[in-house]
Amino acid sequence: MEYPHVHETDSQVAAALDAEVERQRDTLSMIASENHVSPAVMEAQGSALTNKYAEGYPGERYYAGCENADEVEQLAIERAKELWGAEHVNVQPHSGTQANQAVYFSVLEPGDKILSLDLNHGGHLSHGHKANFAGQLYDVQQYEVDPETGYVDYDGLRDHAESFDPDIVVSGYSAYPREVEWERIQSVAEAVDAYHLSDIAHITGLVAAGVHQSPVGVSDFVTGSTHKTIRAGRGGIVMCGEEHADAIDASVFPGGQGGPLMHNVAGKAVGFREALEPAFREYAEQVVDNAAALAESLADNGFHVVSGGTDTHLVLVDLRDSHPDISGGTAEEALTEAGIVLNGNTVPGETRSPFDPSGIRAGTAGLTTRGFGEAELREVGDLIYRVVDNHDDESVIAEVSDRVDELTAAFPLYEGDDDFPTPE
Ligand code: DSN
């Protein structure tokens, strides 16, 4: 992965771009929201479509010269419909948060009520945290996971919905390791005459591959991001039934955004094309098997794994039982030094600040893209425990770092065409 023209024009940015390729190659990328897209997706994202303004939708643009933008956006839409089975798809949101914004703007008025999962229990900022526009514009109350099991407290959610009478119920999460019972939450939303938004940002790829149940056709709105487990170009997506199509489109543009980022829409189209290949289903299954192996290894080592395991691509560890004196931030720092990149994360019943929380969250989408299997993930679980348990011992960190070097060398990234097979 080389940037000869950037080198010619701007040596400072070129150096940082090169360093980023090296960083991704030489470390274990385990931030649960990240992945490594294919060179084809990268090329599309770096294409001439970055120059094009295309406000509007295919066939109905406000500017001339949109015939190629139309082609690309239409392909992205059709492929998304095939992947997720949605009646209507909007591929223009710049991110998952913008996708959620489009849904809120389409059916809520300021002051309306949102019922969503608490951020500390696995929710997302855009589900109504007070630091986000959603928490500032709307009246938000939050449900929680069961403190004993770590699973969504579905009965508590029903009681809460009956007392709060929300206008929209939000399901789908950012740090929740279990499959979501979409239909159960839909029945709660119906019982209180609320809309239901399912945000599958983290699990778009697992749902597309059929590895997880789909909320499409169950919930009123399904949003997602397109660069996590689905491994396409960066951005967001909204899916809904035909009855909401016009409102969603108007809410994305002109309601919430200006010109679409057509180069990213091209990256989405190419990534969706890749995800339609049978190999993608194998990839998604391996992501989940790898996460289960990681969870088992972390638990066997002595960590408290929230909910006792995982059904998804991610594992959440609450450090308070095994390492009460170590924060997620301290663990994150020591692990980064060893070449294992994940994030400190809040946990259910959080007692520390979100800036230095009590847990760590790790995902397997990126390592699975590199070719890691369950044996490697079990070893990575051992390495994570060793580093956290010896977070201030430089010799242990150096030893783990050497092993990370061996693992990354055995599973190369962005080095040759074999890393990312071309679809037939
Ligand atoms: N920042 C993403 C995550 O890590 O979950 C979501 O926006």
Report the pLDDT value the prediction gives residue 31, as an integer from 0 to 100. 98
Query: What is the whole-number distance in angstroms between the Cα of residue 364 and the centre of ligand 1?
Result: 14
Closest ligand 1 atom to 361 CA: 4
Question: CB–CB of 352/325 below 8 Å?
Answer: no
- Give the β-pairing of 28-29 and 359-363: unpaired
Give just the sign of the alpha carbon dihedral 35, 41, 47, 49.
negative
Report the pLDDT value the prediction gives residue 7, as an integer from 0 to 100. 97
Closest ligand 1 atom to 126 CA: 7
Q: Which residues contact 107 (CB under 8 A, 6 or more apart)?
A: 167, 168, 195, 220, 244, 247
CA–CA distance, 223 with 95 (Å, rounded to integer): 10
Nearest Cα residue to atom 1 of ligand 1:
33
Report the pLDDT value the prediction gives residue 130, as an integer from 0 to 100. 94
Q: Is the pLDDT of residue 374 over 70?
A: yes
Query: What is the whole-number distance in angstroms between the Cα of residue 180 and the centre of ligand 1?
Result: 18
Across 363-379, average pLDDT: 98
Q: 209, 196, 208, 153: which is closest to 176 by C-alpha?
A: 153
Phi-psi region of 305 (alpha: psi -120 to 50; beta: other; left: phi over 0): beta
Query: What is the whole-number distance in angstroms between the Cα of residue 341 and the centre of ligand 1?
Result: 14
Nearest Cα residue to atom 3 of ligand 1:
33
Q: What is the pLDDT of residues 35-84, one digit of tens each?
A: 999 999 999 999 999 999 999 999 999 999 999 999 999 999 999 999 99
Residue 97 pLDDT level (bands cut at 50, 70, 90): very high
Query: What is the whole-number distance in angstroms between the Cα of residue 175 and the centre of ligand 1?
Result: 9
Nearest Cα residue to atom 2 of ligand 1:
33
Q: Is the pLDDT of residue 420 over 80?
A: no
Across 350-379, average pLDDT: 96
Closest ligand 1 atom to 175 CA: 5
Give just the sign of the alpha carbon dihedral 258, 263, 267, 270.
positive
Q: What is the pLDDT of residues 291-313, one digit of tens each?
A: 999 999 999 999 999 999 999 99
Q: Which residues contact 259 (CB under 8 A, 6 or more apart)?
A: 53, 54, 55
Q: What is the pLDDT of residues 319-342, one digit of tens each?
A: 999 999 999 999 999 999 999 999
Inter-axis angle of helices 328-337 and 394-410, nearest 10: 60
Query: What is the whole-number distance in angstroms between the Cα of residue 214 and the centre of ligand 1?
Result: 20
Q: Taking the chain, what is the end-to-end CA distance rounded to the nearest angstrom? A: 23
Report the pLDDT value the prediction gives residue 1, as an integer from 0 to 100. 82
Q: Which residues line ligand 1 (CB under 6 A)?
A: 33, 96, 174
Q: What is the pLDDT of residues 387-415, one digit of tens each?
A: 999 999 999 999 999 999 999 999 999 98
Q: What is the pLDDT of residues 105-122, one digit of tens each?
A: 999 999 999 999 999 999
Tokens 């699990």 sit at which residue? 203
Query: What is the whole-number distance in angstroms between the Cα of residue 97 and the centre of ligand 1?
Result: 10
Residue 424 pLDDT level (bands cut at 50, 70, 90): low
29, 30, 31, 33: which to mutate for ligand 1, most atoms within 8 A of CB? 33
CA–CA distance, 80 with 85 (Å, rounded to integer): 8
Q: Is the pLDDT of residue 252 over 80?
A: yes
202, 223, 341, 360: which to mutate for ligand 1, most atoms within 8 A of CB? 202
Report the pLDDT value the prediction gives residue 355, as an integer from 0 to 100. 86
Query: What is the whole-number distance in angstroms between the Cα of residue 162 and the centre of ligand 1?
Result: 30
All structural domains of the chain, each given as residue ranges with its CATH number in brackets, are 4-30+278-418 (3.90.1150.10), 43-275 (3.40.640.10)
Residue 416 pLDDT level (bands cut at 50, 70, 90): confident
Report the pLDDT value the prediction gives residue 354, as an integer from 0 to 100. 83
- pLDDT > 70 fraction of the chain, expressed in percent and rounded: 99
124, 125, 229: which to mutate for ligand 1, most atoms within 8 A of CB? 124
Q: Is the pLDDT of residue 101 over 70?
A: yes
Across 14-40, average pLDDT: 97
Q: Is the pLDDT of residue 421 over 70?
A: no
Q: Is the pLDDT of residue 224 over 70?
A: yes
Query: What is the whole-number distance in angstroms between the Cα of residue 34 and the centre of ligand 1?
Result: 8
Count of other CB atoms within 10 angstroms of residue 158: 17
